[in-house]
């Protein structure tokens, strides 16, 4: 008789998790929460206090432990070694709210123990430019593992993790729907690097030995029901249609004057042909590789936290 695979996580109900919150008076202002909150997300100050403060505390425990291990290893080797940045991965579907989570953690962790230098990099900068995607006939697979220059991403994180003084990453624009030629972000030996993207928890592709997730000291997967994320994607499309798409520079400007029926049909189609299949085939299977899962309800609020059994 085969046994069901038991979960690698313990699930902690939001109310129990909130009791672990350290006392931090006014961690962020309303204006800061508004600035951090992505289009369509419902992040509230209450969620910052109840969910993200305990999470920041936990991540800082992992960071302290990594620093201690580093000190002890240096002592053991009897040779000085430089401390390396702590690397945090944030994964999840398109439209699940990963970028809000990543921006919020950057803000909270940066203020946690004095002034920590935290840098945030999104993996869209490592997408192949549209020109290459077109050449390879994979424009309809933007966001799938093969649409990224995975080697360049791995090299980037390896160089940051190994303490290089200055490491550069390319930049993607949702406005032009492409890599921005000549633009880059520069990472200079941060204390902590956050790497956010759909595919950051992928195992190494066949023939490679290492994946970017092998360099993570901690990882968070933002999770919700697939049906709910589909609705969030479509709702966000409507909001973007009324805002970002109105910009004549936007790649999506041609959709700015769509009727509601056309917008629903078009965004459902993108979801059903690209983002939905990518979630089911590639992203969801990586959830169990995370150290922690934030599970959202259909109204976007975080319902529970799943923590890897240690």
Ligand X SMILES: Nc1ncnc2c1ncn2[C@@H]1O[C@H](COP(=O)(O)OP(=O)(O)O)[C@@H](O)[C@H]1O
Q: Which of 124, 191, 223, 291 binds ligand PAZ (CB under 6 A)?
A: 124
| Residue 187, marked binder | no
Residues 91-110 close enough to bind ligand PAZ by CB under 6 A = 94
> What is the H or E stretch that residue 122 is in?
strand 118-122
Q: Which of 56, 275, 286, 304 binds ligand PAZ (CB under 6 A)?
A: 275
Of the listed pieces 5-13, 119-127, 182-190, 280-288, which binds ligand PAZ according to CB under 6 A?
119-127
**Number of amino acids touching ligand X (CB under 6 A):** 13
3-class SS of residue 250: coil
Name the minimum Å distance from CB 101 to ligand X. 8
- Residue 157 binds to ligand X (criterion: CB under 6 A): no
- Residue 120 binds to ligand PAZ (criterion: CB under 6 A): no
3-class SS of residue 169: strand
Query: Do strands 118-122 and 192-196 pair parallel, antiparallel, or not at all (unpaired)?
Result: parallel
Nearer to ligand PAZ, 12 or 270 (CB): 270
Contact 89, 154 (CB under 8 A): no
Residue 92 C-beta-side C-alpha neighbours within 13 Å: 24
Q: Which long-range contacts (CB under 8 A, 24 or more apart) does 149-156 make?
A: 150/126, 150/202, 150/205, 150/208, 150/211, 150/212, 152/126, 153/123, 153/126, 153/212, 154/210, 154/211, 154/212, 154/215, 156/121, 156/126
CA 106 to chain centre: 11
Name the minimum Å distance from CB 66 to ligand X. 26
| Residue 106, marked binder | no
Name the minimum Å distance from CB 198 to ligand PAZ. 4
- Residue 128 binds to ligand PAZ (criterion: CB under 6 A): no
Nearer to ligand PAZ, 28 or 94 (CB): 94
| Residue 97, marked binder | yes
Query: Token pair 């520079």 is at which residue?
Result: 249
CA distance 57 to 112: 8
Nearer to ligand PAZ, 160 or 274 (CB): 274
Binding site feature residues for ATP: 92-99
Residues within the interface to ligand X (CB under 6 A):
38-39, 92, 94-99, 174, 240, 244, 252
Residues within the interface to ligand PAZ (CB under 6 A):
94, 122-124, 142-143, 197-198, 270, 274-275
């Amino acid at each position: 008789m085969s046994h069901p695979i038991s979960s690698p996580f313990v699930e902690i109900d939001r109310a129990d998790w909130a009791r672990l919150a350290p006392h931090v008076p006014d961690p962020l202002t309303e204006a800061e929460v508004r600035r951090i909150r992505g289009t369509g997300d419902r992040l509230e100050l209450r969620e910052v206090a109840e969910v993200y403060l305990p999470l920041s505390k936990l991540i800082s425990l992992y960071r302290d432990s990594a620093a201690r291990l580093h000190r002890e290893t240096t002592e053991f080797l009897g040779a000085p070694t430089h401390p390396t940045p702590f690397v945090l991965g944030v994964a999840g579907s398109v439209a699940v709210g990963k970028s809000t989570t990543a921006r919020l953690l950057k803000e909270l962790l940066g203020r946690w123990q004095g002034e920590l230098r935290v840098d945030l990099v999104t993996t869209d900068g490592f997408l192949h430019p549209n020109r290459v995607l077109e050449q390879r006939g994979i424009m309809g697979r933007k966001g799938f593992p093969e649409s990224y220059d995975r080697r360049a991403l791995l090299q980037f994180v390896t160089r940051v993790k190994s303490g290089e003084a200055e490491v550069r990453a390319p930049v993607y624009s949702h406005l032009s729907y492409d890599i921005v030629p000549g633009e880059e972000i520069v990472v200079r030996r941060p204390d902590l690097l956050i790497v956010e993207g759909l595919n950051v928890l992928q195992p190494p592709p066949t023939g490679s030995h290492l994946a970017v997730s092998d360099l993570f000291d901690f990882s968070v997967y933002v999770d919700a029901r697939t049906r709910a994320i589909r609705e969030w994607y479509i709702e966000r499309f409507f909001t973007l249609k009324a805002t970002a798409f109105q910009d004549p520079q936007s790649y999506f400007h041609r959709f700015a004057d769509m009727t509601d029926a056309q917008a629903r049909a078009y965004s459902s189609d993108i979801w059903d042909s690209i983002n939905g299949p990518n979630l089911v085939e590639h992203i969801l299977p990586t959830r169990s590789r995370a150290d922690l899962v934030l599970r959202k309800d259909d109204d976007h609020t975080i319902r529970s936290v799943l923590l890897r059994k240690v």
